[in-house]
Amino acid sequence: MQRVCFLLKVKAELAEEYRARHETVWPQMLAALSASGWRNYSLFLRPDGLLVGYLETEDFGAALAAMAATEVNARWQSQMAHYFEGIDGGAPDAAMVPLAEVFHLE
């Protein structure tokens, strides 16, 4: 199992709205994530907009590709894009660059 952690930057003035949007993630989006191999997926948001994502998957590249192939992901990403800094109009999931894991306590 691959553990993946990534950072993104939500616009600070939209952080509360972004948080509220995630209180009711579409059931179709949740099902697509699960079917695409995303496990134990969590997002953490600091008040200044720093977003930390964590998930576990067999293959992160394959999990991203499987989500990219779904219509629901395209709709979700297009609605979420305006919340982020530094993605230059791209989809937020395309900006997920895994951090290097340096320690894990088993």
Q: Which of 12, 22, 26, 90 is catalytic?
A: 22
- Return the percentage of the chain with pLDDT > 70, whole number: 100
What distance in Å separates the CA atoms of residue 26 and residue 12, rounded to the nearest whole number? 24
**Which residue, 89, 96, 82, 86, is CA-closest to 54?**
96
Decide yes or no: CATH 3.30.70.100 for domain 2-95. yes
Residue 82 bears catalytic tag:
no
Per-residue confidence band for 19, with pLDDT thresholds at 50, 70 and 90: very high
Q: For residue 94, what are the contacts with CB-CB under 8 A and spacing of at least 6? A: 87
pLDDT at 42 (0 to 100):
97
Q: Would the pTM count as exceeding 0.95?
A: no
